[in-house]
Structure formats: structure tokens, C-alpha cells
Amino acid sequence: MQIQFLGTGAGMPSKERNTSALALKLLEERGTVWLFDCGEATQHQILHTSIRPRKIEKIFITHLHGDHIFGLPGLLSSRSFLGGEDTLTLYGPKGLKEWIEFSFELSNTHITYPIEFVEIQEGVIFEDEQFIVTAMELEHVIQCFGFRIEQKPLPGELLVEKARELGVPKGPLLGKLKNGQDITLEDGEIILSKEVTSPPKKGFIVTILGDTRLCDNSKLLSRQADIVVHEATFDHSTSQHAANYGHSTNIEAAQIAKEAGAHYLLLNHISARFLPADIQKLVLDAKETFPDLYLVKDFDQFSWKNNELIQEI
């Protein structure tokens, strides 16, 4: 799994930061990409990455502010021209479906693939054999959601030598054992999968929060998460200003990660008021509360390997 940031700014684009969007790359897990928010010019940002729009399987929208959705109509349209044929599922608050369909109607835009709209309600919004995604409402000036993406436990590794010692021949029986199925040998002996496989491996947990002031649901979504993506629009000196506008500070984001028992924190959605020279102070101040954090910039990419977050250079 990889996370790549396509836009890390707040409110409007700047020379350093585009508006909100990030990609959760699940290429090894399911051969697809999940996009979270789609601010203006997101498809332009994608041109500078290895992401293929036809690989985007799901788009999750936290809320309907323009800096989180104004790139959607263009990206959805371009996906048709770029070979997208598979269904794309679009998750978002009430009103998103109406806005997209109205935009397509007025602009005479025709999509060549199916779009499935899911209006977000609190609770589980997606589940299959690999992942479960939970949404909870945050505290912003309009309805806004955060998402908790949990990878289900992975099968343990097959202990081939142990299986061979028990008389399991090469071939499909080994595959069945690896997939958790018990088997019966020709002589009638039953071999249990758990006897020849290591224990299941814990999957990763990623929490991606929309715009929010300090709130309990941020902490609940972040509980024991491996990675938390949290906005840090303001700094500690403007905490009251942040709360008035439904946003958080760098210190408040660090506080959420600490109290939730998260492992890593990625600070995102940075106001243009902070110049490059200010960034180091934002990081150092937040690290006093939660040391394992990064303040991200556009195109930063992180990989999750062996239960560690690795920033790619």
C-alpha cells in the first residue's frame, strides 16, 4: 500500500500547494487506486504521477466545499477518454450526486462507464473480503466525514516443509492449505490448515479525516490506526480562529494521534499563510506532542512495509 498526496493546501491553490486530494494506492492488494477528495486541478496533478485514472476504483469525498470537489467533473470526464470502463463508485455527502449529474447535463458530458453513487451515512459504508471502510461525521462548518480504512487480516504463510513432512504432495492441495482449507490425503488422513500455516497477519489501518475542529469522532476513527491523515490548517497561536472556522491546528492533530494510540501522523491541508520558512516550526511544535509525524507536501509518497511507514524519495 502507498499513499500519495496530490494536493495539500487549504481553501485555494497556491504556488506550493494544490487543493485537497490524495490517492491510496492499493495496486498490490487489489490492482486499483482509491482517491480521497478531488480539489480543482487534481487531474493535472495526476499527470505528474504514475497514477492511471482508469485504475481509480473508488472516490471518497469528505465534504462539499469547493477545494475538495471542484476537480471531480473534469476527472470523471477524462477517465472516459483514458480507457476507463469499470464501474467507479463515488462516496459522498447528500448533494454530491445531484451536483455531478447537473454538471454533466449542463455541459453535455457523456460518461462511458457506470458511476455508482453512495450517499454517506455514519457506519460501515463499504466491506468486502479484503477491506472495511467506516465513516463518521466530523465537526466542520458543513457536513463533513472522516474515513477509517481497515485491511482485514491476511492469511498466514504456508509452512511448506512442515506440510511435506506430513505427507502433503506438491500440487493443488498445498494451495488449499494456504487458503485456509483443511484437506484429506489419499490414505484418509486429515491435515488441518492451521497445522501448516503461520498465524494470520494483521492488516493495516489508515484514517483519513476531512476538515474538522478538535472532536471525539476524529479520535474514534484514529484509534490504534497505523496512519492518520489529519488537517493542520492553523498553528497553536490561532487555535480559536481555527475552531471558529471548523479547522484544527498542528498541535490539536498531534493530540488526536497521541490520545488515539496511532502509530504515524501525516499533517495535511496547510494554510497558504504558512511560508516554507514556517514549516519547520509547525513540525517541531507538533512533535513535542507526537513525534512520529510528517508534514506533507504535494506529490509526497509513503509506503507501508513491514509495519513501518517509509517516505519515498
pLDDT tens digit sequence for 96-147: 999 999 999 999 999 999 999 999 999 999 999 999 999 999 999 999 999 9
Write out the binding residues.
63, 65, 67-68, 140, 211, 269
Would you say residue 181 has pLDDT above 90? no
Say how far apart CA 148 and CA 133 lie, in whole Å. Answer: 6
Each residue's pLDDT tens digit, 243-284: 889 999 999 999 999 999 999 999 999 999 898 889 999 999
pLDDT at 186: 86
Q: Which of 37, 67, 226, 235 is catalytic?
A: 67
pTM: 0.91
Query: Residues marked as binding for Zn(2+)?
Result: 63, 65, 67-68, 140, 211, 269
State what percent of residues in the chain have pLDDT above 90: 80
30-63 residue pLDDT tens: 999 999 999 999 999 999 999 999 999 999 999 9
Beta strands in the chain (DSSP E): 2-7, 21-26, 32-36, 56-60, 88-92, 115-119, 123-127, 131-137, 145-151, 183-184, 190-191, 205-209, 227-231, 264-268, 293-295, 301-305, 308-312
Mean pLDDT, the chain, whole residue set: 95
Catalytic residue status for 226: no
pLDDT over threshold 90, residue 29: yes
Q: What is the pLDDT of residue 303?
A: 98
pLDDT value at position 305? 93
What are the structural domains, with CATH classification, of the chain? 2-154+201-304 (3.60.15.10), 160-195 (no CATH)
- Which residues, in sequence order, are bridge partners of residue 3? 24, 302
